[in-house]
Amino acid sequence: MSFNPYEFDRSYRVEGDYPFGLYMSNVFLWMFLGLMITFGVAIGAWMSGVALVVLSFGGFLGITIAQFVSVIALSAFVEKMSVGAARGWFVAYSVLTGLTVSVNLYVFELGSLVFVFLITALFFGTLGLYGHRTQSDLSGLRPYLISGLLVLIIYGIISIFIPMSVADVAMTLVGVLLFLAFTAYDVQRSRYFYEAYRNDHAMLEKVTIYSALQLYLDFINLFLRLLRYLGKRRD
């Protein structure tokens, strides 16, 4: 079976040699590991001044491009990668994201960052639980989610050249709602992957990393948008 991250199958069965509970635990374990790497790197880059050096030399543009390429590559080639390569790619992406997140430590107060992280975890957990428990088919949300993501990307590019502060709050709230919906969608989609590959343990290990990456991206994007809305800036 070829890897198709967007095709859902509602006939879930959770029996098999690789228990469903173990699979989902590994998905969230890898997502949590990625977040710890990211925030660990962010704090280290902030305390050491590495973030300012990278920012001074325009390195964040290159890092952002590398992040984009990494996500596309992992999505496109996960089926052909070894399990070790998929894990290594995910860890490398988490490190790159840590460098970009580190800039926020110069802008926002540390207590505010912790508060927003906890709020993000609460929202993420709530929508993740909904996506795991609901019997509704969320696959129909995909066209709207992709459209919303494209709108955010286009707006982000335009706002670099044409400041639109009035629209920033509205677009931030749109981003929050979008990634909350993505969270429920991606948790449910990870269940499809289990059903599709439960008899292929090597492939299941790789889609564990792919699912963890999607949820990791949902959390990071939700955190950054809530930070823009709720974060307290340094004086």
CA 149, CA 162: separation in Å to the nearest integer?
20
Q: Cα–Cα distance between 194 and 191 in angstroms, integer?
A: 5
Token pair, residue 219, equals 């959390």
Q: Could you list the mean pLDDT of each consecutive 10-residue stretch along the chain, which spans 235 residues?
A: 50 59 93 96 90 71 76 78 89 90 87 93 94 89 91 81 73 91 94 87 89 95 91 82
What the block records as the tokens of 166 is: 């009035």
Neighbour count for residue 229 (Cβ, 10 Å): 13
Q: Output the pLDDT for position 50.
A: 83
Tell me how far apart the terminal alpha carbons of the chain are, to the nearest angstrom. 55
Query: CA 109 to CA 129: how far, in whole Å?
Result: 30
CB 75 within 8 A of CB 186: no
pLDDT at residue number 7: 54
**Is the separation of the CB atoms in 16 and 201 below 8 Å?**
no
